[in-house]
Structure 1
């Protein structure tokens, strides 16, 4: 029987610093970094016992720690701290403080972990709660001889693309192969234009933070992890004739509206857009840039309109929303928009769910996550997922590829309970609760 009720024992806590000395310096945050509030993102990978490859758990931990110390030489911001400068803005103090590294053991077997309910089985057990620094790591031995590698990082320092680079490099170093991509920290790439040319249209998507929204949420959100078959995604796409993420987002958007009884209320859908492709050029490629290069435009519609709209129409609206931000000019304007407001903070408006909202949700895309590259020397993981219970009342949904590499998705969802219940009741053919049957064997 799957379980979230198991005990964790801390065997050892260390701080892992870069193996080579780092010249202490301040790394400023770009204008795009400054749009992110203090949010911690978790990710984890689970490895079953493989008698053909696995060394002992103790040796596996030694490999991970040694490789981490080497990876931090190149990815040194993860070994630093985020502090406020004289203007009250956050910056990364690259001082090689190190990464908090926990070695733990869990009284549970991999097949018995209830990944479907990660708030019980993963949060604070397999994924560490970050206390200090920019990155925390926990490696947990399982009763079956397997291992879980969990990481939590400060979103202000890195987006998913940046974290992917780091995790891939960490795995490559563990296998004693050269790092595929070395990070770039060239903040001048995101200097504002002179004079700045902010777009007033960005006021729709970004806003100064409202102190009244910093308190406790009135509606507690719940996390779930689902398995979505590639056939289900293909079917949605065939109905909409849009991209997979647009089709999936439209389907989710309409599903949230089905909970509403007040047809005048709205449902907001934000979609995370990576600006690297939009800002890259032959002389200035951004594929290796480490930091945040994101925008989160959103679209909204009334409950009544969404309930009556076809899936194709909803997907068209999602496509139009994404198109507004998927341009070079949008990101250049966003950099200028933030420059005009510094040192005052700003926040993505869709994060600020208001009283007239039936629901607000952000869909991010972790589909580029290199899950099959997460081989630290003993084979790939049996499952991997994000865990992002970020607080507030705006939901968060993150699809990432299944380790099977067959087009299936693992989807992390952080929504109100009533919305999760409805999705499971009405869309069980799409969202399968993740279970041991979805684990990939390493045997």
Structure 2
């Protein structure tokens, strides 16, 4: 698949849609405690649409319009006079790349998980723009939209809300409830109460990180393949029932908890791990429903912390699914209102005292291999599929090629029947063992 770049330019917010004058471009917004602790990188997703679809000019005008509401994406990362990390609301703009491919789009071939996907969106490294978009037109009239966004600005929940609003702007309809931007709501208690060991969970001392640990090793991408595994609703239902089978009906685990437990077991078996080795799973937990008062679902920014269920491998494999699901459920349940507030207190008080002591966010340690651990990115419940430019929903949506062994992306299937698609980077030599267990209850 040869992708030809036709143009690359900066798109800035357009304020002709409102009744007010353009805002000042000298304002800056400090990153919140949740922004500062998350992944400092661009994330990329791929959309594909059948013809007919709107021209690039219509999609660009919609982008200009929605950026006037979501100004952070058109800004730049920087620091204020206090040395704090901030978003400069300078309307610097986002990058829009227009490209073409002469041949027809065959989703089964050209949109499979491979390095070729990297040609369908701008580079994830080196650009100062916080959002980058690539519109690739195929000879058959199909459109592929590659979208990259910097994670320090917004989490998956907020980013998906932005994408829905972009589609509405392209269709010329109301954008709905405006986003809530106020990052000042995350204030410490008086007096602050740090009740958890956050400088061993969300933050780590980089001097104590073992550079020879497999989690910090780089593995050639050609040794890893990214599987797409589809889990039908019947299998998910049976999995959920099995996970609760030994609990006497006192607990009902969620489909997500049951599926992650199953994937954890499959990965341990595929890796051939056993004995006394300890493994954990990093699972993101949305804080919008955890704080008091609750934070609006339209909050734009990051509001996620992570649960770390862990166990010895021999216990996982010995007790199987009910035990593994309970380990996950218990760890996720601990990230309640008290935990989130404790982190706010820590990050606003204690962290400032320790910030010169070589502390780094644990989220920044992502490399090409995480084993023996897992990291689960759940996009269940996010309206990513609702990006409609005026031609209906996409026929394909997925993460870009991301060959980090141990990282897992969980998405609702486009079929819309409650089934789930999972994207799993895995060593080539482990694929057969993984698939032998993948559909076995």
TM-score bracket for this pair, using the shorter chain length? 0.7 to 0.9
2:4 to 1, 5, 9: 9
Q: Secondary structure at the match of 2:118?
A: coil
Q: CA deviation at 1:204?
A: 4.3
TM-score, length of structure 2 as denominator length: 0.85
Partner of 1:333: 342
Partner of 1:412: 423
Partner of 2:282: 270
Partner of 1:306: 316
Contact 1:205 1:349 in 2 (8 A): no
Superposed, 1:42-121 pairs within 5 Å as: 42-49=44-51, 54-55=52-53, 59-86=54-81, 88-112=83-107, 114=109, 117-121=112-116
Partner of 1:240: 243
Contact 1:158 1:291 in 2 (8 A): yes
Distance 1:352 1:38, change over 3 A: closer
Partner of 1:158: 154
Distance 2:112 2:342 in 1: 40
Q: CA deviation at 1:41?
A: 1.0
Superposed, 1:10-409 pairs within 5 Å as: 10-20=5-15, 21-24=22-25, 25-49=27-51, 54-55=52-53, 59-86=54-81, 88-112=83-107, 114=109, 117-126=112-121, 128-129=123-124, 131-208=127-204, 210=206, 217-220=217-220, 222=224, 223-241=226-244, 242-258=253-269, 259-279=271-291, 281=293, 285-325=295-335, 327-339=336-348, 340-342=350-352, 343-344=355-356, 345-348=359-362, 351=365, 358-387=371-400, 389=402, 395-409=406-420
Distance 2:99 2:325 in 1: 45
Distance 2:322 2:241 in 1: 9
Q: CA deviation at 1:333?
A: 0.6
Distance 1:428 1:116 in 2: 24
Distance 1:264 1:117, change over 3 A: farther
Partner of 1:438: none
Moved more, 260-269 or 132-141: 260-269
Structural RMSD (CA): 2.7
Distance 1:417 1:198 in 2: 44
Q: Deviations over 1:276-320 (max 9, x none)?
A: 011253xx6421111110011201212222111220110011000
Is there any run of 5+ residues in structure 1 with no aligned partner, and where?
1-5, 431-443
Distance 2:48 2:295 in 1: 33
Q: CA deviation at 1:247?
A: 0.5
Aligned length: 411
Distance 1:22 1:412 in 2: 42
TM-score, length of structure 1 as denominator length: 0.85
